[in-house]
Structure 1
Amino acid sequence: MASDPQRTAVIDDRGATLTRQDLADASSALADEMHEQGLRVGDVMIICLPNWTEWMVTYVAALRCGLVPGTLPVTTDPESIAYVANMVGAKAVALPRAHRGRDFAAEADIISRSVGRRIRFLFCEQDESPTWALADGAPETAPAYPAGLAHILFSSSTTGKSKAIAHSESSMDAYNNWIIDRYGITGEEAIFMPSPLGHSTGFWHGARMSLLTGASLVLQDHWDVHTALSLVEAHPCSITVAATPFLKDLTDAEWTGDTPKLAGLKTFVCGGAPIPPSLIERATTELPDTHIASIWAMSEGGATSSLPGDSAELIAETCGRVMPGVELETISESGVVNPRGVEGEIVMRTPSLFLGYLNQEDLYRESFTREGYFRTGDLGVVDHDGYLRLTGRLKDLIIRGGVNISPVDIENALIQHPLIAKVAVVGRPDDRLGERICAVIEPRPGSDLTFVDLVDWLRAESVPRRLWPESIHLVDAMPQTPAGKIRKNDLRKSLFPTS
């Protein structure tokens, strides 16, 4: 900040802008308020705010005060906020006063009743000073925290109740420094972040990376592809990290500008799901100045990403190369480490690995092999050069007549259909075979897609018959996590409630 205090630190899609000096002043004042509210070093504060400049002010203030931030996407419902607040012993929760039709001030009453003890609320809104409210009750009782606790991330709840994922400064630094070094991010650049800052993608690659490098942070709160194009053009951004649907929308969007689409964006790092090869091919044409990269990471830690010089073929077929210092292997069903090139569950030992699941010690112990590898639940192959190819999820596998079928290749084939916007392949329960292949499809607006049409197209395109779905189900919109990952568990529950 001392070198250029008037440089933009953060800007959002409402037009709110903070310089480095503004961010320092506002966060210092808010840190004083936090102390006046009785918050002390080591206390946990849940931050559940939109991608606004206020998110960064609150986060930096919490760090100044020595608090442990626990970050949630603003789409989190009040019952889930209360659940995680109790699980981690949070003493305060930061919320917007209102956002997209939700009255968070009223929802704070729901949260406080569910928490059932004393808890403070910080309410933020644009152009207004933050305000505090105290929900009185029984005194707070904090659980025992692991040594070195610095931040808490929460799982996206695709498989039930949230997990509270504890990180240290060193685990977060390890991950961030890999990304910074691999893509050459400096304080002279800007980071575009449409992913929620309350999710690990937005937090690690947006909030934290901008503070570590000094890069300006350009935030988008509500996803709209045309707004995104305008933001990147108006505030030249060199890198973004977001899920595959964001890349697909940007690739498909019409562009009439004088310069190539996303001309200033040097790198789009894509995570959350494998990138279909057809999308890589289209993105290379539609976004000629942007290098598309793949990354494989999770809230518990990170492991691989594409190298800047990787070929389009490598990017389409792999999730990149293992990061320095990471031990990445696959294991057999019996837990034995496989030779390179053999498919199995992906496991890792890495400096970026989390400290543990708070108040879920049994789950934490079950997540490791005897040799200390973290079990990711992903299936894949690590080749002799350290490149990772995902083949599916342990729980996503379709078992048809005793044969394990990965949805990945089927989804990559179907997404090439011109009338399909999004697709998720799941197993439909079947009395005879156990499961059959079902494609859940979100069609493009105004399109009329039938199963017969789809089969005719698959045949005409010479798609192997083993990749043909045996039924389809059309939906208006896919259930997704805040980072854009399709919630397959939600699809299964809604489609097959008795299975």
Structure 2
Amino acid sequence: MSVALHDLVPRKLRRTWAADGSYPDLDLYSLFRARRCQHPHRTALVDNEGEVSYAELDALARQLAAGLAARGVQAGDVVGIQLPNCRAAVIADLALAALGAVALPFPAGRGMREAESLLRRSEAVGVLAAAQFRGHHHATDLAQLLGQLPTLRFVVSVGIDFAPKSCVPFAELFPGDYDDFVPDRPDPDAAARILVSSGSESEPKMVAYSHNALAGGRGNFMASLLTDDRPPRSLFLVPLATAFGSNGTAVTLARHGGALILLDHFSPREALASIQRHRPTHVLGVPTMIRMMLENGAAETDTSALTALVLGGSQLDATTAREAQQAFGCTVVNLYGSADGVNCHTDIDEIDSGEINSDDGTSGVLVGRPDPRVAQIRIDRVDTGRTAAPGETGEIVARGPMTPLCYVGDPQLDSRYRTSDGWVRTGDLGVLDPAGRLHVVGRLKEIVIRGGANISPAEVERMLATHPDVRDVACIGVPHDVLGERLAACVVPRPGSVLDLEGLCAHLAANGMERGKHPESLLLLDALPLTPAGKPDRAALQTRFTTVQH
């Protein structure tokens, strides 16, 4: 048994969500198995190797589960997964669920230091890792931890015919005879998956989710995006190993019986080709990816099968929403969510009317009405901790069927971000307007303090994004000897455009933004650097800005 994972939501409340139908109240593998029995020949996933049916995927998952069991993996054990979007990642998800074990996915491309931290703090007993991925040799690197981490017993190498030294070849975990394998039937409220937050802590936060919170709470989010009885065909541009990507195996497959369409890495042209070839109903990505696709032939692509673009990870501006809706011919959903346990999204009426940016005097970005079948949301005043009145800005606090169990191996995070009755403090600033719609203002920790005055980078980014020559933008705080910090704008111009700081500040002034919030430095880029999770990489921007300045 690995690290203890306790539930900070009262048991009685969890059972209430099961009783009212917010939870399927089955473990993930049992849900998937039911889908396999109903539609064995339906396509379950499409990747670079081709298509896999539900029956084929189930057989592979059961074989891998038997192979992992032979390696000593038991119910409750944590096993890491560092793989790109491919069938092996999905097979591993399902195999671990069938064992009652806990999956710990983290994106391919993340470095050794972070991987070591995750595996050590989660007390993982093993890890499945890519042998080769875009210049990385994760399996070889992680094998160095054998003997250093007391709980780590094996590293599985996935992706080439031979395994690096000290690694187990992936193929060896598929026994020829697995008919006697009996899946575990874990408590649906027990841990199934650990999501890794890409937040601003010194080490990435890990958040434990139950079977019910994934298939139920997050599954209810996806259910609200389905317009008919057809199962979704979801193209994941974000890694399955992210919080956003947790809507893959557990939700698209196990809960809704749909199909996963996977690219092992994002390319705008490959993404558009996949839309035309595989005809997804839903595309899940970040706004920067969509902006790149708009510039690489989105308008000439057959998108007639699309129901929605579901965009999260960073703020969506009104210009991108309008251009994407016109080019792709479908609903554009603005999703606000995180690994920590919050979710809210717009619906088609809000996007159609152009209401991404608030138009009623409320600051922030509109992200829709909270769905209690996913997560209730309230706003707490930062100064008093009391519930804010409609229209007052405060910290966004959430609780509902998708609420996670706890932070992993870190009671201090539980104390800081969880209340005694199970609510999650998000660290985000927001407003609930009189109509009950949530507007996200920014991050508490990302406030730039210039000479004692607070500047929200998110607010400035939203305004700069309305400039007709700005394709993408991120604002960061940079050190200053006298003022403490100053604001810098990192901007990607639209092709053929010429931008300078004076012109950008004039745009801000013309739109009513006071001078004290204007950026004082400009870094022009061909593209924003992205984290492995697909979000703007602010740490990389800080480094690049410092390098340019010197």
Show the counterpart of 1:174: 216
What CA deviation, in whole Å up to 9, does each residue of 1:373-412 have, x standing for no partner?
3211111101233211111111112233433222223212
Matched residues in 2 for 1:255 and 1:149: separation?
40
Residue 109 of structure 2: which of 65, 71, 75 is its match? 75
Matched residues in 1 for 2:538 and 2:430: separation?
19
* Deviation (angstroms), 1:11: 0.7
Residue 324 of structure 1: which of 372, 381, 393 is its match? 372
Contact 1:83/1:115 (8 A) holds in 2 = no
What CA deviation, in whole Å up to 9, does each residue of 1:29-83 have, x standing for no partner?
1111111111112111111111011111111111112211111111122232222
Contact 1:154/1:163 (8 A) holds in 2 = yes
Moved more, 301-310 or 88-97: 301-310
Residue 162 of structure 1: which of 204, 208, 214 is its match? 204
TM-score with structure 1 length normalisation?
A: 0.87
Matched residues in 1 for 2:75 and 2:421: separation?
35
TM-score with structure 2 length normalisation?
A: 0.80
Contact 1:273/1:485 (8 A) holds in 2 = yes
Show the counterpart of 1:251: 294
> SS in structure 2 opposite 1:150?
strand
Letter in 2 for 1:470: E
Instruction: Provide closer, same or farther for how the CA distance between residues 181 and 480 of structure 1 changes in structure 2, counting only shifts above 3 A.
Output: same
Contact 1:158/1:490 (8 A) holds in 2 = no
Show the counterpart of 2:521: 471
Moved more, 181-190 or 328-337: 181-190
Show the counterpart of 1:273: 314
Residue 267 of structure 2: which of 224, 232, 253 is its match? 224
What CA deviation, in whole Å up to 9, does each residue of 1:445-487 have, x standing for no partner?
786644345456667x766454632221234553432232223
Matched residues in 1 for 2:468 and 2:302: separation?
21
Show the counterpart of 2:37: 2
Q: Is 1:292 paired with 2:332?
A: yes
Identity %: 27
Show the counterpart of 1:413: 463
Letter in 2 for 1:246: M
Residue 88 of structure 2: which of 45, 54, 67 is its match? 54
Matched residues in 1 for 2:302 and 2:445: separation?
38
Q: Hey, which of these two has a bigger chunk of strand by percent?
A: 1
Instruction: Provide closer, same or farther for how the CA distance between residues 458 and 390 of structure 1 changes in structure 2, counting only shifts above 3 A.
Output: closer
Give the root-mean-square deviation of aligned CA atoms: 2.9
> SS in structure 1 opposite 2:38?
coil
The correspondence of residues 12-411 of structure 1 with structure 2, limited to 5 A, is 12=47, 14-112=48-146, 114-115=148-149, 118-125=152-159, 130-131=170-171, 148-184=190-226, 188-205=231-248, 208-255=251-298, 257=300, 261-287=302-328, 289-310=329-350, 311-317=352-358, 318-325=366-373, 326-332=375-381, 333-369=383-419, 372-411=422-461
Q: Tell me, which stretches of 5 or more residues in structure 1 are unaligned? A: 134-145
Matched residues in 2 for 1:369 and 1:44: separation?
26
Instruction: Provide closer, same or farther for how the CA distance between residues 370 and 18 of structure 1 changes in structure 2, counting only shifts above 3 A.
Output: closer
What CA deviation, in whole Å up to 9, does each residue of 1:111-134 have, x standing for no partner?
32542555112222278982469x
Matched residues in 2 for 1:389 and 1:84: separation?
33
Letter in 1 for 2:209: H
> SS in structure 2 opposite 1:427?
strand
Letter in 1 for 2:42: R
Instruction: Provide closer, same or farther for how the CA distance between residues 209 and 176 of structure 1 changes in structure 2, counting only shifts above 3 A.
Output: farther
What CA deviation, in whole Å up to 9, does each residue of 1:256-314 have, x standing for no partner?
74xx6522211111111221111122223222x21001111110223311124334333
Matched residues in 1 for 2:113 and 2:521: separation?
36
Matched residues in 1 for 2:494 and 2:172: separation?
45
Letter in 2 for 1:272: G
Matched residues in 1 for 2:417 and 2:398: separation?
11
Contact 1:178/1:324 (8 A) holds in 2 = no
Contact 1:341/1:384 (8 A) holds in 2 = yes
Matched residues in 1 for 2:410 and 2:468: separation?
45
Q: Tell me, which stretches of 5 or more residues in structure 2 are unaligned? A: 1-35, 163-168, 174-187, 359-365
Moved more, 264-273 or 397-406: 397-406
Letter in 1 for 2:146: S
Q: Which has the higher contact order (CA 8 A, sep 6+)?
A: 2
> SS in structure 2 opposite 1:283?
helix
> SS in structure 2 opposite 1:245?
helix
Matched residues in 2 for 1:46 and 1:96: separation?
12
Matched residues in 1 for 2:543 and 2:420: separation?
34
Matched residues in 2 for 1:113 and 1:51: separation?
29
